[in-house]
Every structure is written in structure tokens, then in C-alpha cells.
């Protein structure tokens, strides 16, 4: 038995017959895409709904107790929630102190320069570290460093 055939047999046992699963998934996706607001959704929202529909079809045609399908549905929904709320993978990153930006105290010309010589004058974070949460350079989006 080829490796592909073995994989297909395993998946068929888990998710049911592919033609029935595909028919059910397409039915659910057609309903989703016919909704009045579907075209107003962002591409990631549209895509997440289609993948959720596919997972629902797998649950209905295959093993309803296979937790991975339920986990994936929660994952797709969480990705959208995180983007909308600016959390998780979409959380803003903490600006890092860079030599050319923010209120850095500059060492005297000609001196030996170490990372610890470059300190933010506001929060005293050193070059390469994150600014303190309450540092004005961490709060102001105009400052990236």
C-alpha cells in the first residue's frame, strides 16, 4: 500500500468519506457566502468561516469526538478575535531601545561605546532592551525605539 493510500484510509476513518464531507462542507460554505454581510468581512474572517465550516463537516461526517476538530474551530475563531482586539499574535510589540531613536543619553564623542552607555533618558532602559511600560517612548506610536 502506498503512503498516500495509507494516509487516505486513515483520514477516511477519522473524517468519513471525502465526497460526503466535501458535499456537506460546500453546503455550509454556500450558506455562509450567501449571507448579506459576507462581502463586508475581511479576508481573514471569510477564510476562517470557510475553515470552520470544513471542520463542522468533518465533525458531522466523521468522528464527532475527535477533539482536534473542535480545537481547530476554537483556534480559527480566536485568531479573528485576537486581530479584532489587538491581542495574542496581533498584540503590539514593545518598542526596543535603539541607538538612533528616543531620548537616549549619548556617550561623549571618542569614548568607548558599550550598549549600557546608551540609556533612555525617560526610563533608563539600555540599548537593545524594551522600554519600561510607562515610558513615554513606549506609549507614543511615533517613537519606534
d(CA 105, CA 41): 47
Q: What is the pTM of this model?
A: 0.63
d(CA 66, CA 51): 16
d(CA 75, CA 111): 52
* 54 closest CA partner among 18, 35, 79, 29: 29
Question: What residues does each domain of the chain span?
Answer: 3-90, 94-145
Task: Convert the pLDDT of each residue in 63-92 to its tens digit.
Answer: 999 999 999 999 999 999 998 888 888 777
Query: CB-based contacts of 54: which residues, under 8 Å, 6+ apart?
Result: 25, 29
**Could you count the other beta carbons within 10 Å of the beta carbon of residue 16?**
18
Share of the chain above pLDDT 70, in %: 74
Amino acid at each position: 500500500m502506498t503512503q498516500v493510500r495509507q494516509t487516505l484510509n486513515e483520514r477516511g476513518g477519522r473524517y468519513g468519506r471525502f465526497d460526503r464531507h466535501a458535499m456537506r462542507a460546500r453546503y455550509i460554505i454556500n450558506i455562509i457566502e450567501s449571507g448579506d454581510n459576507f462581502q463586508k468581512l475581511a479576508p481573514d474572517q471569510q477564510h476562517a468561516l470557510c475553515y470552520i465550516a470544513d471542520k463542522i463537516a468533518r465533525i458531522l461526517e466523521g468522528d464527532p469526538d475527535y477533539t482536534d476538530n473542535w480545537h481547530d474551530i476554537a483556534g480559527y475563531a480566536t485568531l479573528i478575535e485576537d486581530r479584532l482586539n489587538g491581542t495574542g499574535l496581533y498584540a503590539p510589540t514593545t518598542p526596543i531601545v535603539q541607538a538612533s531613536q528616543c531620548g537616549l543619553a549619548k556617550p561623549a564623542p571618542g569614548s568607548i561605546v558599550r550598549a549600557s552607555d546608551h540609556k533612555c533618558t525617560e526610563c533608563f532602559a539600555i540599548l537593545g532592551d524594551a522600554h519600561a511600560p510607562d515610558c513615554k517612548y513606549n506609549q507614543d506610536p511615533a517613537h519606534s525605539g
